[in-house]
Structure 1
């Protein structure tokens, strides 16, 4: 999926560090754990993704978990080039045993983390600390990867606002699909997926419904100025406060969303 940088830039202008929300004329809103679970299909309830950020011997670490020793040219500090992972683990060899399959699975997940889910500003390298969490593939699903992705996105948006960076790190696909699902005035028109496509799994995670170009109609590019104007003129009915309840979207959601994504909190108001 191509990222619309005009859209991302226009959203970034409305991000506020103090509240971690986007400010629009009708109120504040933000990406939540529920959005991550539905749009990306990642677990949002589980063990925290945390641990050491350095290793004593990075080459031995890669040999242990990936079965190969990368050349020094693709290593910088505690990170490795994503392109090297793509090239080295592009095709699973025939008659691969369980150990080799696990090594390729780790490399694939590491590539997803470094290029899509939690990329840095260059989208060129991924940190070895994530490989350590993939040591035992049987417990990988027990981690709250969705929480890590959302925390990374918040951090990247904060960092981008503070330093006025040209490139923003974090999961831009999540942010873009969230905007398309929520703000009707900027959404590309889509033909609904057929019942068979839904059965085949083409609609979940819900981000997938935006990746099939055969379903796009009149998806012409909109300039930053046009996005800014549409955000300035947005009306209450053009923002879907109760998201994912539309029939064309709700029928795509095939998992139960953990209650951890919902909280009841008091409203605090102050007089100026």
Structure 2
């Protein structure tokens, strides 16, 4: 039992059908970064821009996850803070700001990578803003998550979009008791849950979850958790 494309659609609201998300690798990203984003590439690695510089360009340089804040709430707050900056620009400058924001969202949601530098392999897909919505970003999220599960350098670390796994577990393995439902019938389902803060070490939490998963009864698994959920607002 693993997360599927249906889980991605229902939990995140991202579409899983459409054009494939195929990143492009260049020897240098300096030209497209400066042309499409208006950001300066610095340092020895010409394909990277510092994460803090990208945030600062959108007026969210000091944005941090707050205690008890869900990923959906965090992104909503980033969106609200960035909207004021976006509203001040028009024309080509506004397009650059929008691409910066989309780069931020892709980095936080689709790639979910850790560390400060931001890669720009998906930047060519943002050149034509009218076609951005045609890509299967949800499928890319799931593919990147699966790829990252086996490459994380830490026992308690996941490089992909971890909230997808959390909410997936809330629905399929409710006996774990790890999440608190707060808003029923909300789409996407990521917004329905409040993430519980656990003060124990990540290693201790991982050990406890492993022990529970090894002994969970078959009858405690919900194989069809979305029965009764509305399909009206699904992409």
Please classify the TM superposition score into its range, dividing by the shorter chain length: 0.7 to 0.9
Q: Secondary structure at the match of 1:96?
A: coil
Which residue of 2 is the match for residue 7 of structure 1?
Answer: none
Q: Please give the alpha-carbon distance, in whole angstroms, between the structure 1 residues aligned to 2:167 and 2:116.
A: 23
TM-score, structure 2 length as denominator?
A: 0.76
Q: Choose the corresponding residue for 2:22, options 50, 63, 66.
A: 50
Higher helix proportion (structure 1 or 2): 2
Structure 1 residue 93, shift from structure 2 partner: 5.7
User: For each residue in 1:39-82, what CA deviation from the matched residue of structure 2 results, as whole angstroms up to 9, or x when unmatched?
Assistant: 111110111111521154x232122111x232514x73423222
Q: Secondary structure at the match of 1:72?
A: coil
Which residue of 1 is the match for residue 233 of structure 2?
Answer: 255
Give 1 or 2 for the bigger CA radius of gyration: 1
Q: Does 1:107 align with 2:76?
A: no
User: For each residue in 1:234-268, what CA deviation from the matched residue of structure 2 results, as whole angstroms up to 9, or x when unmatched?
Assistant: 112221101212x4xx14x54346xxxxxxxxxxx
State the aligned residue count.
Answer: 207
Structure 1 residues 93 and 38: CA distance shift in structure 2, 3 A: closer
Q: Choose the corresponding residue for 2:50, options 81, 88, 98.
A: 81
Structure 1 residues 184 and 167: CA distance shift in structure 2, 3 A: closer
Q: Secondary structure at the match of 2:129?
A: coil
Q: Please give the alpha-carbon distance, in whole angstroms, between the structure 2 residues aligned to 1:165 and 1:183.
A: 21
| Contact 2:50/2:116 (<8 A) preserved | yes
Q: Please give the alpha-carbon distance, in whole angstroms, between the structure 1 residues aligned to 2:52 and 2:131.
A: 27
Residue ranges of structure 1 left out of the alignment (5+ in a row): 1-28, 258-272
Q: Choose the corresponding residue for 1:70, options 40, 51, 69.
A: 40
| Contact 1:123/1:169 (<8 A) preserved | no
| Contact 1:49/1:144 (<8 A) preserved | yes
Q: Please give the alpha-carbon distance, in whole angstroms, between the structure 2 residues aligned to 1:190 and 1:118.
A: 26
Q: Please give the alpha-carbon distance, in whole angstroms, between the structure 2 residues aligned to 1:82 and 1:151.
A: 23
Q: Choose the corresponding residue for 2:189, options 188, 206, 212.
A: 206
Residue ranges of structure 2 left out of the alignment (5+ in a row): 60-81
TM-score, structure 1 length as denominator?
A: 0.67
